[in-house]
Amino acid sequence: MSAPPNTLTFTQEAMAAEFRLTFIEPDPVYARQAAATAFAELGQIENRLSRYVETSDLFRINRLGRGQATVVHVDTFQCLRVALQVQVATDGAFDAAYGSCSTAAPGCGPLIELIEAGCVVRVLADGVRLDLGGIGKGFALDRMAALLAEWDITAALLCASTSTVLALDAPPGEPGWAVHVGADQSPQRLLLANQAISSSGTTVRGDHIIAPHTGRPAEGAFRAWSIAPTAAEADALSTAFMVMGESEIREYCRRHPQVSAHFLSSPQAELVTIAAGG
**DSSP labels, 202-214:** STTT-S--EETTT
Helix (H/G/I), strand (E/B), else coil: 197: strand
- CB 128 within 8 Å of CB 94: no
User: Strand 216-217 to strand 188-192: parallel, antiparallel, or no bridges (unpaired)?
Assistant: unpaired
Q: Which residues pair with 158 in a beta bridge?
A: 21, 166
CA separation for the pair 159, 138 (Å, rounded): 9
pTM exceeds cut of 0.85: yes
**Predicted local distance difference test score (pLDDT) of residue 110:** 81
Cβ contact 72:119 at 8 Å = yes
Q: In a structure prediction context, what are the per-residue pLDDT tens digits for the chain, which is 278 residues long?
A: 556 778 999 999 999 999 999 999 999 999 999 999 999 999 999 999 999 999 999 999 999 999 999 999 999 999 999 999 999 999 999 999 988 864 445 556 689 999 999 999 999 999 999 999 999 999 999 999 999 999 999 999 999 998 999 999 999 999 999 999 988 888 899 999 999 999 998 654 445 567 676 666 666 678 999 999 999 999 999 999 999 989 999 999 999 999 999 999 888 888 999 987 77
φ, ψ of residue 38 in degrees (nearest 5): -65, -40
For each of the domains in the chain, give its residue range(s) and CATH number, in order of start.
7-40+137-274 (3.10.520.10), 57-123 (no CATH)
Instruction: Give the separation between CA 122 and CA 114, rounded to whole angstroms.
Output: 6
SS3 17: strand
Q: How many CB atoms lie within 10 A of CB 137?
A: 27
* Three-class DSSP category at 143: helix
Report the SS3 class of residue 10.
strand
Report the C-alpha gap between 92 and 103 in whole angstroms. Answer: 17
- Phi, psi angles (nearest 5°) of residue 103: -75, -10
Nearest residue to 12 via CA among 45, 42, 49, 44:
42
What's the Rg (C-alpha) of the chain? 19
For the stretch 234-263, what's the b/e string if a residue is b when 16 or more beta carbons lie within 10 angstroms of its beta carbon? bbbbbbbbbbbeeebbbebbeebeebbbbb
